Structure 1
Amino acid sequence: MEKLETLIQELYQEGTREKNMEVLSQIRKLAKEEKQFIIPVGDANGEKVYRRLSLDDGQDVFVAFTTQAQVDLGQATETLNQSVMDVLHMVHDTQGVSGVVLNPWKDSYFLPKVLIEMILDNKNLESEIKVVKGDITTFDGDCIVNAANESLLGGGGVDGAIHRAAGPMLLEECKLLNGCQTGQAKITKGYDLKAKYVIHTVGPVYSGKHEDEHMLRDCYWNSLTLARKYDIHTIAFPAISCGIYGYPVEKAVPLVLKTIADWLDANSDYTMKISLYCFDDETTKEYQKYTSYQGE
């Protein structure tokens, strides 16, 4: 556990993706070695229950400590020892919590469900999911995803922005693709963009029906699958259907993250670094509920 604490402290100092991968790898190692976390518990109707912490944004998380010294930094509480593996499974399987915070009183580290799933399923930890507030057309990577309409001939919002940034040759190539059905994906060159490729996918117009979920999931899944066929390892997504198509952000975000986690699970032999670009504070904060925690 001392090594895990040291790595988390180094992560605070360096803030690099590589150091975060070391933290995740160490947690996986501790789980396989059957090491234990210290878990705070309370009493509810005569039964022991795991204590939760409510974050400022309203999300609930479980709490775990690496050492008794970390426990003693906060208020006195009853605790029990539980294997790292069991804690990860508990957090992963519990509805209504977004992850677990390690050592919340000092040098805290938030482990969201999407990363817990990567650890439990032995996924490639070199894969990455990050949230970016900004202009997706500036993405300097292999590919950006365009939230297109079925004609693929350009439109408003991010679709129009990508066509403007890529230049007129993008439209000329799109004319050769004969459109695209909702949930499907097609690929073109990036032309004047920094990205080498553009993957065009058509999100659902939100109706509140169950089919919306399936089609939105297909957008992300099919885009990632197409990206792999073209040996793409860095890709940027907009918030598909969350603009003029009316898909509620609070419904889309957990679905998107679950879809990405499932795809990474099914493609554990392939490294994919995924940037989720957000166009406003609302979308950014919704993603950050599930993917990040800023400790004090």
Structure 2
Amino acid sequence: MTQIDLTWGNILTLRGDALVCPAHKHLIRGRGLSAQVYTRGGEELAAQCQKQPECAVGEARLTKAYHLSVDYLLHTVTPQWSSGDQWGAQAIGQLRRCYESVLHLAQERGLKRILFPALGAGTNRFPHTIAAHQALEVLNENFEQFEQITVCLHSPTALGEWKKVERRFFTV
């Protein structure tokens, strides 16, 4: 049975079929996790990313995962959180589409074990409670199509926030 595993640590040390990488629309090296992925992926990853078409916010692209502990990278461009102003609802919808696009592409390619970071909650500043709610809603709607879905947070505090959202909204 598939489960959604919430954990914390270094996502780059975990094993799976694919790692979800927050991306820039041109699939160039970004900040945070993206920078770490590009450092490990090296020239081969950069060269393959250059050949990819532009990726709009909420879309996903697939590349090989050179020199990483997974076979593939699922790149997705996450929206910037704007402090819940008039564009906040649009950003939340775009974040949701990131998860949907990644899962659709993973399913299309037959990938069964997917590693997610907290999309949008890093350098793009989404509050963890909002990011967790959107992520867990989409992941719970789709988890039966996968063997394992892991969400790896960067700290015990972030993990605690995600577990609170999970208990409040997604535990029967």
TM-score (ref. length: structure 1): 0.53
Q: How far apart are 1:140 and its partner, in Å?
A: 1.1
| Structure-1 residue corresponding to 2:170 | none
In structure 1, what residue type is equivalent to 2:153? C
Alignment of structure 1 residues 243-254 onto 2, 5 Å:
243-254=122-133
Q: How far apart are 1:291 and its partner, in Å?
A: 4.3
How many pairs align? 163
- Larger strand percent: 1
CA contact (8 A) 1:137 1:165 kept: no
Matched, 1:230 2:109: yes
The one of 73, 77, 80 aligned to 1:198: 73
For residues 222-281 of structure 1, the C-alpha deviation after alignment (integer angstroms, 9 at most, x for no partner) is: 1011001111110101111111211111111112101111223xxx4x334110011123
Unaligned stretches of 5+ residues in structure 2? 168-172
| Structure-2 residue corresponding to 1:221 | 100
The one of 286, 290, 294 aligned to 2:161: 286
Which structure would you say has the larger RCO, counting Cα contacts within 8 Å and 6 or more residues apart? Answer: 2
CA contact (8 A) 2:10 2:154 kept: yes
Matched, 1:164 2:43: no
For residues 17 and 146 of structure 2, the distance between their equivalents in structure 1, rounded to whole angstroms, comes to 13
**Larger Rg over CA atoms:** 1
For residues 39 and 3 of structure 2, the distance between their equivalents in structure 1, rounded to whole angstroms, comes to 29
SS of structure 1 residue aligned to 2:93: helix
The one of 18, 40, 59 aligned to 1:184: 59
CA contact (8 A) 2:9 2:153 kept: yes
For residues 224 and 162 of structure 1, the distance between their equivalents in structure 2, rounded to whole angstroms, comes to 20
CA contact (8 A) 2:60 2:77 kept: yes
| Structure-2 residue corresponding to 1:38 | none
| Structure-2 residue corresponding to 1:43 | none
For residues 151 and 99 of structure 2, the distance between their equivalents in structure 1, rounded to whole angstroms, comes to 11
- Structure 1 residue runs of 4 or more that deviate by more than 2 Å after TM superposition: none
SS of structure 2 residue aligned to 1:167: helix
For residues 194-234 of structure 1, the C-alpha deviation after alignment (integer angstroms, 9 at most, x for no partner) is: 10000000110012221111100000111011001111110
Matched, 1:258 2:137: yes
Matched, 1:174 2:53: no
Alignment of structure 1 residues 80-95 onto 2, 5 Å:
none
Unaligned stretches of 5+ residues in structure 1? 1-125
